[in-house]
Amino acid sequence: MSIYHACDIRGIAGQDLSDIAARQIALAVGYKLAGEKVVVGGDVRISTPRLIKIVIDALIESGCQVIDIGTVASPIFYYALKTTAAKGGIMVTASHNPAPYNGFKLVFGDKPVSEEDVQEIARLVEAGTRVSGQGEVKHLPVVEDYLAFTSALSKRQTLKVVIDAGNGATSTIAPRLFKKLGYEVIELNCTPDGDFPNHPPNPALAENLVQLGQKVREAGADLGVAFDGDGDRVGFVDEQGRPVDNDDIMVLLARYYLEQGPGTIIYDAKCSMVAPEEIVKAGGRAVMARAGHTFSKKAFLEEKALFAGEISGHFFFRELGYDDGMFGALKVCEFVAEHRSLAMLIDAIPNYLLTPDIRVADLGYDKTSVLNEVAKKLASYKLNLIDGVRVEFEDGWAMIRASVTEPLFTLRFEAKTPERLHDISGVLLEALPEDIRQAVVSKMPLN
């Protein structure tokens, strides 16, 4: 599988993303940003320091004015881009992927990186394009400034919160931020370790929140928050230790902002029907975006939205102009503090029958060809092609999309009754290649 994805560059460090490939990519970025200010940071993965050095050396050779912010979470990288007025940046991270992976989140100008930008870098690498110059590097610690800035936009609280940093980039940062605002913090997996020894750094999967739920119950905490490897995603458990669907978190955050005034809220194409229904009910305008960090951010900026959310746990905020899992956790905590109980808030949100993400290997298929064939077979139905193929009905929907970071298809189904969930899922399943259909059926929660 190519390391050039829709939103970033990512692969197994030392294999897919070799040192030579990393240097070629950095030289290509240096060609695009020659002579400009470029921010470079990285997460806690074992391969990150080596890749950061390769990146900085190549950018200096390209004539860039490098601002090295060291080991940080991605929200701090975005904060540094904004406050230094840099023209671009490279964050060395593989986000929520397992420990062997690493990659680059790229920024060019003030717009989200596009698929075209990533493919342009791939072409420049293929052509060996580079430029020579005399750049320099400046080391700029920004964590303290980030903490001051972010806490100034947040309210002091006395909630008891368990923070599971997953041994990732927020390990030494998130606890400090919460304590600074008066929270009683219980730390879990808050020692940086790029091997992620306790669980994979992906809080969007309920199995990775089991340890957090147990700790919340043991401590009698008000809620638990978990961050991914680079801190731009967040997941939650309530005071009973139950994982909370991010569809429901989006509803709470939408209410939080819409209580302050009307506006647009962005939700992604994998969200429950409940999200847009509750956004409208709260006085907002609901706009669907394609799932994926840069697609949500593009819609967020174009629509001048109050807030944007994805079920993966990416949350974007107008106050910031970027996504920040730590800030998102603070906003949820503020809403919970005003309404006393996360469990009560979640239980009061209407819910339909919604499957979790069903993730199956692409089995070597060309993913675009599969999606095109599915759309062709289902042409007589109402289709939404904003992100893969989504078949829409009055009382539910079924969706298949290609993962932008892994060799996977992801599917999700929703309906208002068990019978309709069976019927609606069957419509999409019948349009899939036999071996992919069988893989999906074996993972369906209805089995």
Provide the CA 236 distance to its chain's centre, in angstroms: 14
Question: Residue 70, CB half-sphere, CA atoms under 13 Å: how many?
Answer: 6
Tokens of 318: 């107008």
Give the pairing of strands 160-164 and 223-227: parallel
Three-state SS string across the chain, please? Answer: CCCECCCCEEEEECCCECHHHHHHHHHHHHHHCCCCEEEEEECCCCCHHHHHHHHHHHHHHCCCEEEEEEECCHHHHHHHHHHHCCCEEEEECCCCCCCCEEEEEEEECCECCCHHHHHHHHHHHHHCCCCCCCCEEEECCCHHHHHHHHHHCCCCCCCEEEEECCCCCCCCCHHHHHHHCCCEEEEECCCCCCCCCCCCCCCCCHHHHHHHHHHHHHHCCCEEEEECCCCCEEEEECCCCCEECHHHHHHHHHHHHHCCCCCEEEEECCCCCHHHHHHHHCCCEEEEECCCHHHHHHHHHHCCCCEEECCCCEEEECCCCEECHHHHHHHHHHHHHHHCCHHHHHHCCCCCEECCCEEEECCCCCHHHHHHHHHHHCCCCCEECCCCEEEEECCEEEEEEECCCCCEEEEEEEECCHHHHHHHHHHHHCCCCHHHHHHHHHHCCCC
Q: Are 267 and 250 in contact (CB under 8 A)?
A: yes
Q: Which of 62, 74, 95, 171 is catalytic?
A: 95
Q: What φ, ψ does residue 109 adopt, rounded to 5°? A: 70, -155
Count other Cβ atoms within 10 Å, centred on residue 435. 13
Rounded to the nearest 10°, the torsion over CA 359, 360, 364, 367 is: -50
132 is catalytic: no
Which residues form the catalytic set?
95
